Amino acid sequence: EEMMREENTEELEVLEAQIKHLQAEVKGLQQQLQEEDCRNIAFNFEGPMKDALAYMCGLTEGEGKEVVVSKLEEEVEQLERKIKLQTQINSISVTRCITKTLDHSGRKEVQLFCISGHCSGLVFQVEFKLSEVQEHQRTVNELNVVLDSKDPQSFSSFLSRVEE
């Protein structure tokens, strides 16, 4: 019986060591995944936004947090001004925009865009895939437009605004 307890104790110690090893491996893989996610997120932006995301994810060092946040706030304000101007020019108001990276391999990136909004009293949803090769060639694929209107006049007005 004493011998059995010693064997069980040894077996328990081996299992505990294996558990600790696996926990360390899981933690390492989670950290690697988080870093990869941060790189993918930062890759999709440019300028101050990319710098801020890279800094916050720990991919770069340098300027302090206050400077990075200040530049980011400035970038957001500039984007808000551009969106407001765009809305004034063509009356298209975007209410939701979701971007998902479907493929990111070497020289090619494919993103799915889902955009919702309204224009001239017409509610719309647009979904498309944007393929980009070497940052210069962009191609729109699988364009789907869903309109929430039975009024042909609203549709015509919407199309003319989009064409502008």
Would 16 be classed as within a structural domain?
A: no
Would 85 be classed as within a structural domain?
A: no
Predicted local distance difference test score (pLDDT) of residue 42: 47
Q: Is 118 helix (H, G, I), strand (E, B) or coil?
A: strand
Considering only CA atoms, which of 65, 56, 49, 61 is closest in space to residue 34? 56
Q: What is the pTM of this model?
A: 0.52
* pLDDT-flagged residues of the chain (< 50): 42
Would 41 be classed as within a structural domain?
A: no
Count of structural domains within the chain: 1
Predicted local distance difference test score (pLDDT) of residue 46: 66
Would 112 be classed as within a structural domain?
A: yes
What residue numbers bound the domain in which 107 lies?
A: 91-164
Contact 144, 126 (CB under 8 A): yes
Would 75 be classed as within a structural domain?
A: no
Would 37 be classed as within a structural domain?
A: no
Would 63 be classed as within a structural domain?
A: no
Size of the chain in residues: 164
Contact 111, 133 (CB under 8 A): no
Predicted local distance difference test score (pLDDT) of residue 22: 87
CATH of residue 96: 3.10.450
Would 57 be classed as within a structural domain?
A: no
